[in-house]
Amino acid sequence: MANSKYEYVKGFEQNDSLLPQTWIVIQVDGRGFTRFSQAHAFKKPNDMQALFLMNDCAKAVLEDISDVVFCYGVSDEYSFVLRRTCTLYQRHASKLLSLVVSLFSASYAMKWTQFFPETELQYAATFDGRAVCYPSESILRDYLSWRQVDCHINNQYNTCFWKLVESGMSTTEAQDTLKGTTADVKNNLLFEKFNINYNNLPQIFRKGSIVYRKQVEEVGKKENGEVIKRLRMRIVVEHEDIIRDGFWTAHPYILSVARSKQQQAHPPSPAAKPQLSLSLR
Ligand code: GTP
Ligand code: MG
């Protein structure tokens, strides 16, 4: 069909393709969650149900978009790592970003009553988003470490702050008490004044949450009684340290392009590989 005279308007579209062969991180962040958390009486400083809801929304994103290989969340934010080889929407930033943000926001509303059966949703929670490309695995890991360090710093501060307020201080007095204090001083304050060992607080508060497809070994039996082992990919939510190498060396397949592509394209059938097979679930 011949082009219409209006077709020229396409020339105004900007090319926003993200750099090829880089890790794409899409970060979503709750808009105005200071108010949202008050309007819905979230527990201070951490509301477990609110965190579970965020984690479930992240799971929905991971389940829906196969290029998402890893998610990290804390407070009202979540970061989604898309594999380097991702070609979804020809890597157009606006398309990828709007997909993740809308999927996350819609999931939040849909799942609300599951996590807050007693609390009516007053208004829609909305999330902003940004997409950033990281050129190497090491920089990607530094990004994730940065978010987890932030989680720790904020959680330690907020735990002290709200304990001081609970004990009768005004918010200004609590702020002044904590101003310029080191991590050690905050830990001591929690221990000596409130008998709280920071390291015993729930890991989800101190480390945030990770969501990924984990390789798990399943042991089964054939009809003839022969024991077979299978590797399966299962979506999990955990609260591990992702700053040290340990987690990444234990799960090298998460960021490994070759392995993850293979898992997607050719899940070997148990018949073809009776002793060890990979499949997505
Ligand atoms: P914008 O992101 O700029 O729109 O502002 P914001 O109000 O969302 O603040 P920001 O993203 O910087 O920080 C998130 C805020 O959400 C925190 O400061 C808290 O006030 C609130 N919040 C997040 N998680 C919890 C929670 O588990 N409990 C409570 N009480 N508040 C939370
Ligand atoms: Mg926010």
Task: Please give, one letter per residue, the 3-state secondary structure of 216-255.
Answer: EEEEEECCCCCEEEEEEEEEEEECCCCCCHHHHHHCCCCC
Length of the chain: 281
Angle CA(71)–CA(43)–CA(61) in degrees, nearest 5?
Answer: 20
In the predicted structure, residue 273 carries a pLDDT above the cut 60: no
**Tally of domains within the chain:** 1
Q: If you average pLDDT over every residue of the chain, what do you get?
A: 92
| pLDDT, tens digit, 9 for 90 and up, residues 250-268 | 999 999 965 444 444 444 3
Substitution site in 28, 37, 153 for ligand 1 pocket (most atoms within 8 Å of beta carbon): 37
Q: What is the pLDDT of residue 103?
A: 98
pLDDT 10s digits, 185-223: 999 999 999 999 999 999 999 999 999 999 999 998 889
Ligand 1 closest atom vs CA 35: 7
Asked if residue 145 lies in contact with residue 200, where contact means CB atoms within 8 angstroms, the answer is no
Instruction: Say which CATH number the domain at 62 has.
Output: 3.30.70.3000
Give the tens place of pLDDT for each residue, 6-58. 999 999 999 999 999 999 999 999 999 999 999 999 999 999 999 999 999 99
Contacts of 261 (CB under 8 A, 6+ apart): 85
* Residue 152 clears pLDDT 80, i.e. is over it: yes
Burial (Cβ within 10 Å: 0-12, 13-18, ≥19) of residue 240: middle
pLDDT in tens, 100-122: 999 999 999 999 999 999 999 99
Q: Which pLDDT score, from 0 to 100, does residue 248 have?
A: 98
- The verdict on the CB of residue 27 being under 6 Å from ligand 1 is no
202 Cα–ligand 1 center, Å: 19
User: Does a structural domain hold residue 265?
Assistant: no
Section 142-170 average pLDDT: 97
Region of poorest pLDDT, from 16-30, 172-186, 228-242, 247-261? 247-261
Confidence label for 2 from pLDDT (cuts 50, 70 and 90): low
Ligand nearest to C-alpha 161? 1
Ligand 1 pocket check for 115: Cβ under 6 Å:
no
35: domain range?
16-207
Q: Averaged over 220-247, what is the pLDDT?
A: 94
Q: Does the residue 155 lie in any domain?
A: yes
pLDDT for res 3: 84
Binding site membership of 44 for ligand 1 (Cβ less than 6 Å): yes
Residue 109 lies in a domain: yes
- Whether 258 is covered by a domain: the verdict is no
Task: Compute the average pLDDT of residues 77-88.
Answer: 98
As a whole number of angstroms, the distance between CA 271 and CA 237 comes to: 31
CA of 35 to the centre of ligand 1 (A): 8
Does residue 250 belong to any structural domain of this protein?
no
Once rounded to an integer, what is the mean pLDDT over residues 158-187?
96
On the question of pLDDT at 155 being above 50, the answer is yes
Residue 193 covered by a domain: yes
Residue 172 lies in a domain: yes
Pocket test for ligand 1, best of 29, 35, 47, 75 (most atoms within 8 A of CB): 75
Closest ligand 1 atom, CA of 31?
Answer: 4
Share of the chain above pLDDT 90, in %: 88
- From the CB of 47, is ligand 1 less than 6 Å away? yes
**Is position 7 within any domain?**
no
Question: Is the model's pLDDT at 271 over the cut of 50?
Answer: no
pLDDT at 149 over 90: yes
pLDDT digits (tens, 9 = 90+) for 120-131: 999 999 999 999
Q: How far apart are alpha carbons 229 and 210 in whole angstroms?
A: 26
